[in-house]
Amino acid sequence: MTPSTPPKHQWVETEDGSLTLFSEEFQEACHSTSGAVQETKLHYLQGCQIETKILSDDHLSILEVGFGLGIGFLTTYDVLKNQNKPWSFLSLEIDHELLEWFRLQNLEHPFLKNLTWRENILEAKNEMIHLQILCGDARRVLPEFLKSQRLTWNAIYQDAFSPKRNPVLWTKEWFTLLKTYSTATALLSTYSASSSIRKSLLEAGWILHKGEKFGPKRTSTRASLQGETDPDILLQLSRSPATALTDDNLQEILRK
Ligand SMILES: C[S@@+](CC[C@H](N)C(=O)[O-])C[C@H]1O[C@@H](n2cnc3c(N)ncnc32)[C@H](O)[C@@H]1O
């Protein structure tokens, strides 16, 4: 049965049988139509090595850019719920109605039934898991939130809408902020392999690696703060006329 539909969205069935949402506002679906859950597992759980990190790192702290319909969190929850180790998940979402819809959908869920609004934060917590979703424009609410927290993250799911639809979450300045609060072992993973985005990441100080292919996309991007950038990526970028996306040039670049 198709669940109720959040305002300004439509359901889309994807090839692995899971559903995603199409946003009327951004004119884009939240996931690849090749499979919403499969894409999430590949790009985010595998891409950020979540199952290794929960065992090896002191505390697994995940940042997700774009909460959407919550597949990133729910898939992570399914994989980690029986691990006897604490982990936290901080996510960012501009759409208040979408978050309220998510809360109401999950009143029976063993963990999410405790979701509660605390000002602009939707939050649930137990002995092992701490979920916080900051509601508002990530470019404003995340820096504001960080002023009052001693927080770092070691995994980043960079899952904003595409750079064309959602450019402010793909600029050099955005990736610099993400790097500032990353631990030395942090991994950032994203479905995008655009040259312009890769240049933004490089200029912000990230080290780049090729990610897996999914659906019609030939590759994706993984980034870390240790090691060296894959020489094939450096060669490809040196041949590409694309420039890094910055807060200053994004309108001009996207018009081209
Ligand atoms: C691709 S979807 C995320 C999908 C999600 N990770 C999931 O697994 O369901 C991107 C989300 O980013 C949100 N978004 C767009 N612009 C934003 C902004 N400036 N700040 C915070 N969230 C934003 C959109 O409303 C949308 O829900």
Q: Domain span at residue 142?
A: 36-255
Domain CATH number, residue 185: 3.40.50.150
- In DSSP terms, which residues pair with 187 in a beta bridge? 155, 224
How far apart (Å, rounded) are the C-alpha atoms in residues 171 and 252? 13
Under 8 Å between Cβ of 63 and 155: yes
Structural domain count, the chain = 1
- 45 in a structural domain: yes
How is residue 162 written in tokens?
């595409």
Distance 159 CA to ligand 1 centre (A): 7
- 22 in a structural domain: no
Distance 30 CA to ligand 1 centre (A): 8
- 14 in a structural domain: no
How far apart (Å, rounded) are the C-alpha atoms in residues 1 and 38? 20
Distance 85 CA to ligand 1 centre (A): 28
- 230 in a structural domain: yes
- 139 in a structural domain: yes
Distance 64 CA to ligand 1 centre (A): 9
- In DSSP terms, which residues pair with 13 in a beta bridge? 19
Model pLDDT, residue 240: 96
- In DSSP terms, which residues pair with 129 in a beta bridge? 87
Tell me how many degrees the CA angle 69-73-77 measures, rounded to the nearest 5: 135
- 191 in a structural domain: yes
Ligand 1 pocket, residue 133 CB under 6 Å: no
The backbone torsions φ and ψ at residue 226, rounded to the nearest 5 degrees and listed phi first, read: -130, 155
Q: Give the count of alpha carbons within 13 A of 72, CB side only.
A: 30
| Each residue's pLDDT expressed in tens, for the chain with a length of 256 residues | 678 999 999 999 999 999 999 999 999 999 999 999 999 999 999 999 999 999 998 899 999 999 999 999 999 999 999 999 999 999 999 999 999 999 999 999 999 999 999 999 999 999 999 999 999 999 999 999 999 998 999 999 999 999 999 999 999 999 999 999 999 999 999 999 999 999 999 999 999 999 988 888 889 999 999 999 999 999 999 999 999 999 998 877 777 6
- 7 in a structural domain: no
Pocket test for ligand 1, best of 159, 164, 192 (most atoms within 8 A of CB): 159
Pocket test for ligand 1, best of 25, 30, 174 (most atoms within 8 A of CB): 30
